[in-house]
Structure 1
Amino acid sequence: MELTFLAGASLVAALIVLLIGYITFRRAYRVAAPNEALVITGRAPARVKGGDIDLESGTRIVVGSRAFVRPLFDRAHSVSLSSRQINVEVESQSVDGIFLRLQAVAQVKIGEEVGEIRKAAQRFLDQQDKIDSYSQEILSGALRAVVGTLTVTAVLQDRTTFALKVQENAVDSMNNQGLVIDTLQIISVADDGDYLRNLGRPEASKKEQEARIAESEARRTSTEAENRDSQKIAESQKELDLRNATIAKETAEQRAEAEAAQELARSRQRQQVLDEQQKIADQENDLRERELVREIRKPADAQEYAAGRQADAERYAREQESKAALIEAQNEAESVRARGVAEADATRAKGEADAASIQANAEAYQQFNEAAVLSQVLEALPGIAREIAAPMSNIDSLSIVSSDGESKLSQNVSAGMARTMESVQSATGLDIKSLIESALSGRDRSETVANVASQVDAEPEATDVPSEKPAE
């Protein structure tokens, strides 16, 4: 068991040692990036002839390569070789006394040479962010110095030369710090007044005039060329149209001739076909005629003969039937005549009897006096009262709203009869009321009226009067 524990402890220790060794190796093995320079220090400086110490020999510079940094003995420092954009704005006076404002942009970086990297590391290793401000100051001074030696025209017309002079003026100061200027461009040049604007106006006016003249000349030349081209195009189009018209005419004539020839050939072919069809039709007609003679005419002749014989037989039968019908009609006419004479005699006898009856009634009516007429009227009054009261028999339940009670029904019937007698008087001229009054003169009027009223009242009682319901 102790052996197992020792073996495990040894394995863990070995793993720890390997891990420490791997971490140490990873930290000691350094590879420089493309935009980076490694400054490795820690080696002892070498001595040169004369006993002096070479301080640079103790520093190694690694650019775009790899190096092994000894743990506990060496230290590696990173220096960026990336380009930096420096914006420069200065105000300076030119040699001809014009105050100018200039803007420029420069691309500055640490040089790629070992010596330049060593100089930059000695000056900016711990303050690389100060490179921008330092470069800006150097370039501003160089820009002022160069502007003071040039005229405004030189600055404006040859900016490339101006930028090169600024670089030449600043290159020594930059190189002493391990810095190099990749590019320098003048962005703008301005002044406080209108000097720069007026400076270019004569030249601008001249150029504008030349441009207008050149433009006018070019427009005139272009117009003339266009006109000539248009004329040539029109002439060419005319020739083309004439040629197309000639070709179209010839084509139309040839097409018409071809169509006429084709139509003539088709007409001849159709005529030949018609002739052949006519011959075939004639042959078919002859054949059909012979077939009709065989199939129709001969059977028709036989049928005609048979029809004639049948018609003779039917005619004879009809003649016989007509004779029999004539004899029967004559017998029927004699019978009808006899019945008519008998019916006429009976009708005449009946009419004579009716006439005698009517004559007797008329003579009897002429002999009627007022008493007989009154008797007939009194016989008719109950029927009239019955017809007046008939609508009440169709009423199931009747409510009378009156203080008179049931006597109102009799009064209504009496009123209806009075209106009926008035209607008879207006239609026939017979005054039933006057007739009754004249018949009752000399007698007890009250007794007669009571008798008449009793007769009138007796008739409604015989009819079916609906049950009366007192008004609520």
Structure 2
Amino acid sequence: MFGYQVPEPDEAMLISGGKAAGDVPFRVVTGHGAFVTPFFRKARFLSLSMAESEVTEACVTRQGIALNVRAVIAFKVGSDVESIVSAGQRFLSDQSQMSVLVGRIFAGHLRSIVGSMTVEEIVTERQKLAEGVLDGSKQEMAKIGLTVDAFQIQSIDDMKLGYIAAMAAPHNAAIQRQAQIAQSQADMAAAEAEQQSMRAQAEYARQTTIVQAQLAAEVSVAKAKADQDAAEAEQQSARARAEFSRQTKVVEAQYDSEILVAKAKANQAAAQAEQESQRAQAEFSRQTSIVRAKAKAEVDKAESEASQAGPLAQATSQREVLAAQTELATRNAELRKQQLVAEVVKPAEAEAERIRVLAQADAERTRIQAEAAASNNRVSLDQLLIEQLPQIVREAAQGLAKANVTVLNGSDGLGEIASGLVSQGLAIFDSVRAGIAAKPETDLDRKGISRGPGDR
């Protein structure tokens, strides 16, 4: 807005040209703005920020000793209207003169206060010196509208006269003496601690050597005992393996003899079945020849009678011939049935019995071998039996191949025969498994030979 001005937060706006309140020659505005009428009012700005002034002054103490004192003053224009007016009337045109004037004021008071004190007081009581300078300059600073925020004595030296150093010499000697005493005491304590540590290390080494010797002796005894136990265990294991091998060989020999006996019995049964089949076939051939001769004689007789008789007799004769042929067909069918039983069923049953006996013997031998070896479980025994199943079916098929079989219903009949062979082999396999699983006590148990964990 035209004519409206606002001072900065660290500034005071001084408006002249108008009537001010009270005895103030001009209007002071801080913290807010004001309207300045052009041509009739004039606004100037006075900084309220902190300023700094350094003082380096050669001062003479009460003892006549010259000291070089360096100090720093931090000051600013006061925040009240009276201080702003006083500072504005003095420094508004050249605000940089504030630092120069403050330095001169504090230099004079510094010389005055130092002249009333000794070197010892100045060195040991710097705060007293600073408070004296502040108290002496406070009234003058207030007159020019300034306030002091801080006054610090930075350094004090005797301009290489050596007085301050000589003053510190007794204290330095005492401190060095105390330091030497403390160092000697520390060295003595360190030596004692080192000796104690060496004694402790020697004792620890001695105890360690004793413990190591004891441990070595115990380890030697334990190793000797372990070697002795291992040797005894090895001997027991060797004896157990030898006894197990001996018992296994005995059992295998017994079962080998049993298997040989079973095979001999099976071969004998098969031979007997073969002989019976041959006798049945011979009897069938003889009966067939007799029946055919009788039938032919009767047919010839009927034909002879029919040729001698008339048409009626011929018809009767033909009826009798048909009846005789029917009876002949019936007898042929019965004889064929007996022939099939003799040629197929009996040999097949004998061969199946032989195969079953052999399969049982082989299964029993396999089970005994598995129990003697003590390393196979029930699954291994079933696997061995399954491996023998094709051999069982093959033996049955070979037995059937030796028989004179007539298939009446073609491929269906062949399929039925093959299915029957496989079913018979599976039945033998199931019977062998059931016989082995149902047997509560084996010869190995009776002989005292333990079985493996998988055979239980």
- TM-score range normalised by the length of the shorter chain: 0.3 to 0.5
Relative contact order higher in (CA < 8 Å, ≥ 6 apart): 2
